Structure 1
Amino acid sequence: MAPPSSTEARTTRAAVKPRKAAALLVLSGTRVLMVKRPNHFSYPGAFVFPGGTVSSTDSSLMHTALRETFEETGLLLSTTPIPMERRRLLSSLQKEVHDGVLSFDKALEALDVTLIPSDDLIPFSVWTTPVGPAKRYETHFFVTRLPSHLSEEAVVGDGGIEVVGTHWLPTERIPAWIRQGKTPMHSAQIYLTCRLAWSLGAGEGWDGVLEVARQIGRVEVLMRRTEEDGKRVENMPNGDKVIYEAGAGSAGKAWVELSDRASL
């Protein structure tokens, strides 16, 4: 059989329907939880927020975000602490949920806890992979705060299955690190962490985060790519831009320009 023509290949790629996914930005003060992907995985070596595709057992996109955060980091965002006598079960239940042999809801029952309410997860924009790649995602981002009964030490990773590092990154330093190429990120992570950095760096606290969420929470992003002075520019629907240094890869040195403020 003859190989498909370039036109047929483009048609096939265009027909790929994005899979729904969810990711969660967890804030502890001015630090945000990020995980680093292994080199053999999607987004190799990049810093991303915990997240993944919707499972048939998920009751909502918020449920997906909370489940994936538990699977990848061990952080269980519950309304109350896990009873002392059940904490020894946490690691094994995380693995069972990750492996798909136990539902997330069953794990919650075994630990005798309930998840934080969905109202605590604030919509923080929706990003869809442009037409072209064989894999496309419609990723719903949410932001929340680390519950007061939990500490940053509750994050333990997943044993190297999907992440090779878990990090609480200080938002005020992330824009400089991205410009220097120290924390490889893709457009969504670059844009959202820089928006957090601006708000939290101005001392606006959680109220500032909520204001950013009010501005971008319902924004649906299908990035439009252009070239300006040799630099790759990803254009947001609201006029903001993610700009990559000339010659930088998809997770290379970059910065954000807001339509109504200076560069980040």
Structure 2
Amino acid sequence: MVNGLRLPAEFRARIEDLRAGRAVPVAPRHAATVVVLRDHPGLGVQAFMLRRVSSMAFAPGAYVFPGGSVDPRDGEAQPAWSGPGPAEWGKAFGADDKLARELVCAAVRETFEETLVLLAGPTGESVVDDTRGDDWEADRQALLDRSLSFAGFLERRGLVLRSDLLRPWTHWITPAVEPKRYDTRFFVAAMPAGQRARDVSTEADRVAWVRPAEAVERAHKGEWPMLPPTIATLAELAAFDTVADVLAAPREIVVHEPTAEIIDGEAYLVLPEDAAHHYPQG
């Protein structure tokens, strides 16, 4: 049994080209992903997920968590900040201070852009209670078209970024065989009281609050397409009874980077050992 999944036949030529030096891996872009969690009174811990539209170049039709690429401006300014600073985040994620600031800002910005969930507040001890309304939507659109930086958005509204509401969870790098690659740090966060998560992203056509174990089961049945990092993360979260338990869990961040190999003439994506058992084997 192979620790991974079979790739389409066209990947074999790409693997051979990389091995022979006829092709060079694409440099991965830094990105941040946030697993927004809530406690459901009858169902336990639930995660917020979006289904990417079928026209997307990367992972079309896949169920994912909110997130996206770092905007270089995320690291250039220093917004009002409450909680662990860039140095602490850098230690957790193996990043310098500038990249760590970019990653935290990208995590909060992308989550707001895609779901209207905003991990920021008027003070370092408070959080915005409602992000619905035309004025919030205008700011969201300005962030999307990059006419407004995230630091500028926070400053305009007099908000403090709440890095203390985030926790580091894991780190995945897209395999070298892929034409689009991301170096993604995963965060977890509790859904702020009073806010409502909804799909406001043009990149998604469906959203769901789902128990992690149910999402993994749907993936294994082929009902919900998911990438290996998503399944592995959900499988880990399924072990917790409450969001507080998730946030309190000690984490040693390990970098996972699957590899593409030719096994018995077939192209396979081989997963890291500690994640492989979460994914249907090929």
Establish whether TM, by shorter chain, passes 0.5: yes
1:45 aligned onto 2:67: no
**2:18/2:25 contact within 8 Å kept:** no
- How far apart, in 2, do the equivalents of 1:192 and 1:83 lie? 28
Cα 1:13–1:237 shift into 2, 3 Å: farther
Aligned to 1:75: 117
- How far apart, in 2, do the equivalents of 1:50 and 1:235 lie? 23
**1:234/1:242 contact within 8 Å kept:** no
Tell me the CA shift for residue 207 of structure 1: 2.4
The DSSP-based 3-state class of the residue aligned with 1:39 is coil
**Taking structure 2 as the reference length, what is the TM-score of the superposition?**
0.70
- Give the aligned length: 229
Percent identity, aligned pairs only, is 28
Cα 1:147–1:243 shift into 2, 3 Å: closer
**2:50/2:207 contact within 8 Å kept:** yes
Q: Which amino acid aligns with 1:185?
A: M
Aligned to 1:34: 49
Tell me the CA shift for residue 57 of structure 1: 1.1
Cα 1:86–1:127 shift into 2, 3 Å: closer
Q: Which amino acid aligns with 1:71?
A: E
**1:86/1:111 contact within 8 Å kept:** no
Aligned to 1:243: 279
- How far apart, in 2, do the equivalents of 1:85 and 1:66 lie? 14
Cα 1:27–1:14 shift into 2, 3 Å: same
**1:171/1:193 contact within 8 Å kept:** yes
Aligned to 2:220: 179
The DSSP-based 3-state class of the residue aligned with 1:142 is strand
**1:9-56 deviation line (CA, Å, top 9, x unaligned):** 963643422111111111111111111100011211111111111111
The DSSP-based 3-state class of the residue aligned with 1:14 is coil
Tell me the CA shift for residue 209 of structure 1: 5.2
- How far apart, in 2, do the equivalents of 1:131 and 1:82 lie? 40
Gaps of 5+ in 2: 1-15, 40-44, 76-100
**2:36/2:190 contact within 8 Å kept:** yes
1:25 aligned onto 2:35: yes
Aligned to 1:157: 199
Alignment RMSD? 3.1
Gaps of 5+ in 1: 1-5, 247-264
1:169 aligned onto 2:210: yes
- How far apart, in 2, do the equivalents of 1:90 and 1:74 lie? 9
**1:105-125 deviation line (CA, Å, top 9, x unaligned):** 222233332221x23321111
Structure 1 segments, 4+ long, off by >6 Å, are 83-86
1:103 to 135, 143, 149: 149
**2:174/2:183 contact within 8 Å kept:** yes
**1:46/1:185 contact within 8 Å kept:** yes
Tell me the CA shift for residue 205 of structure 1: 4.8
Aligned to 1:133: 178
Higher relative contact order (CA 8 A, sep 6+): 2
**Taking structure 1 as the reference length, what is the TM-score of the superposition?**
0.75
Tell me the CA shift for residue 219 of structure 1: 0.6
**2:190/2:243 contact within 8 Å kept:** no
Aligned to 2:80: none
**1:18/1:129 contact within 8 Å kept:** yes
- How far apart, in 1, do the equivalents of 2:218 and 2:108 lie? 27
Q: Which amino acid aligns with 2:55?
A: H
